[in-house]
Structure 1
Amino acid sequence: MSNSTIQKLPIWFIVVSILALIWNAMGVMAYISQAYMTEEVLTQLPEADQQMYANLPSWYIGAFAVAVFAGTIGSLGLVIRKKWAFYVLLISLIAAIAQMCYLAFVLKMANAMTPMIIIVGIALVWLADYATKKGWLS
């Protein structure tokens, strides 16, 4: 589809896309905070948290990274109106589901954020698909 045939975006789509980018950028900051946690900061945590961080499997850390970085890139794709945003957001969602399932079912550490992260991920994948079908993305 050429740029001349792309439909005009409704303002709500632009707002939601920017909010999605901010949401996912906050996820990147959370990942960086965890990945680069200093020994000094780690020792200030309760013993149970220290053990949890020390025993996180590498696939979990990788899933966390993929979820937040792909989510950020996919959200940027929405902002700049690219069809590939759907696929990148889908990858992010799959990684987030793996990560949240580990937190909920293995570590038994689910909280209100656990389902919210998955719900937002599903909503962003749906939004990218909807925007593509409406001709808002090229």
Structure 2
Amino acid sequence: MNASPKWFKGLAVAGLLWNLLGCLAFAADLRLTPEDVARLPEAHQALYAARPTWALAATAIAVIGGALGCTGMLFGKRWAFPLLVLSLLGILVQDYAMFIMVDGLGLAGSVAALLQGMVLLVGVALVALARKGVTRGWLTH
């Protein structure tokens, strides 16, 4: 195994922190009571009501897979790459549910689309980073 450069570890830490924030947001979302949802703006209530259960599962796969994948990169583990690919697939499924099946853009607005776009870009970047780590021999065993 070649020693990974400091910038690689720094980006893995940043990715881990990003995904841990995603885990916190997901946990907070799961803890919303019907009373909490009732206090949201009407558009957000409609978004919650229309969201399929499998979209929640996709979100869980995205954030947990991302956090585990970034942890794997920190420890030089090759399995980080497939976990980050799985995380990216979770993001894509979540986005499909939010923007194709449900009118997330119309219900939540352009800020939600911008945030989800950023989530997608980070997911793609983390997959590319892990792939580079495998190719360069920074991620082995």
Normalised to the residue count of structure 2, the TM-score between the two structures is 0.87
* Partners of 1:64 and 1:99 within 8 A in 2: yes
* Runs of 4+ with deviation above 4 angstroms: none
* Partners of 2:52 and 2:97 within 8 A in 1: no
Instruction: Trace 1:45-64 onto structure 2 (pairs within 5 A).
Output: 45-64=40-59
* 1:9 match: secondary structure: coil
Gaps of 5+ in 1: 1-5
Report the Cα distance in structure 1 between the residues aligned to 2:87 and 2:7, rounded to whole angstroms.
Answer: 23
Instruction: Trace 1:80-91 onto structure 2 (pairs within 5 A).
Output: 80-91=75-86
> How many corresponding residue pairs?
133
Is the counterpart of residue 131 in structure 1 residue 137 in structure 2?
Answer: no
* Partners of 2:51 and 2:98 within 8 A in 1: no
Shift of residue 31, structure 1, vs aligned partner: 0.7
* Partners of 2:51 and 2:102 within 8 A in 1: no
Residue 8 of structure 2 aligns with which residue?
A: 13
Q: Pick the aligned partner of 2:71 from 66, 72, 76.
A: 76
Q: Percent identity?
A: 34
Report the Cα distance in structure 1 between the residues aligned to 2:116 and 2:96, rounded to whole angstroms.
Answer: 9
Is the counterpart of residue 94 in structure 1 residue 101 in structure 2?
Answer: no
Instruction: Trace 1:38-49 onto structure 2 (pairs within 5 A).
Output: 38-49=33-44
Gaps of 5+ in 2: 106-112
Deviations 1:59-118 (A, max 9, x none): 111111111111111111111110000000001101111101221223232421122111
Give the CA RMSD over aligned residues: 1.3
Worse overlay, 108-117 or 120-129:
108-117
Normalised to the residue count of structure 1, the TM-score between the two structures is 0.89
Report the Cα distance in structure 2 between the residues aligned to 1:121 and 1:129, rounded to whole angstroms.
Answer: 12
